[in-house]
Amino acid sequence: MSAQAELRAGDQDRDRIAERLRGAVGEGRITLDELTDRLDRVYAARTYGELEGLVADLPGIAAGDGRPEPANALLLFTRGTRAVRKAGRWTVPPRITLDCTWRTAVVDFRNANCPHREIDMTVRCDSMFGDVIIRVPVGWRVVADEVTSGGWIRHKRVHNTSPVPPDPDGVVLRLSGHIGGDIWVRFHRVAR
C-alpha cells in the first residue's frame, strides 16, 4: 500500500469517484445493484486507499490522481429518499439517463463544461410527484418531442419556453422518455 493510500480523502475525491461509478453503469461495466453498494461505501470512505479499492476493477481512474476520463454516458437516479441533483462544475457527456422515480430532480447545465453540440437525455419518472427541473444557458435549444406522459388529464407536461430564440450554433438538448410529473426547463443568462 502506497503512502498516498493512507492520506485522508475529501468530499471532492468522494464525489469524483461516485461520478466515475455512475459513468461505469452507463458504460455497462457494473450493474445498478453494484453501483448502490459501491456508492454507500464511497461516502463512508475515509482514505484514498478505500476509494481506490472501489474503482480498482475499472479502467481509467485512480482515487488520488487527476480527474477521471470523461464517460460517454451519465446515469442519475434516486436512492431512497435522496433527490437527484446535478449542478456546479461538471463535464457533460453526450448521453444522460435520469431516473427520478417519485422525487424531484434538478439537472443544472449553467456552470457545466459541455464539449458536445448535442446531448441526448432520457428521463424516467413515473410518479405524478416526480418533477424534473432542467437549468440551461440562454441560447440552448431544448427539444422534447419524444417525451410521453402518464395519461393524466393535462397534456402539456413539458414547460419549455425560451426568452430568446436559440443560438444557431448553441447546444441542443434532446429529451426523451416517460414522465408522470412535469419537466420545467429554465433558461438563465450565464456570465462567462
DSSP letter, residue 164: S
Q: Could you tell me the pTM of the whole model?
A: 0.63
Neighbours of 103 (CB within 10 A): 21
For residues 20 and 173, give the distance between their C-alpha atoms in angstroms, rounded to a whole number: 22
Residue 60: predicted pLDDT: 63
Give the pLDDT band (50/70/90) at residue 118.
very high
Return the beta strands (E) in 5-149 as ranges. Answer: 73-77, 84-86, 95-99, 105-108, 118-125, 132-137, 141-149
For residues 94 and 72, give the distance between their C-alpha atoms in angstroms, rounded to a whole number: 6
Residue 64: predicted pLDDT: 44
For residues 26 and 73, give the distance between their C-alpha atoms in angstroms, rounded to a whole number: 5
Does the pLDDT value for residue 148 go beyond 90? no
Q: What is the mean pLDDT of residues 91-108?
A: 84
For residues 29 and 19, give the distance between their C-alpha atoms in angstroms, rounded to a whole number: 14
In a 13 Å sphere around the CA of 76, the CA atoms on its Cβ side amount to: 25
For residues 134 and 179, give the distance between their C-alpha atoms in angstroms, rounded to a whole number: 14
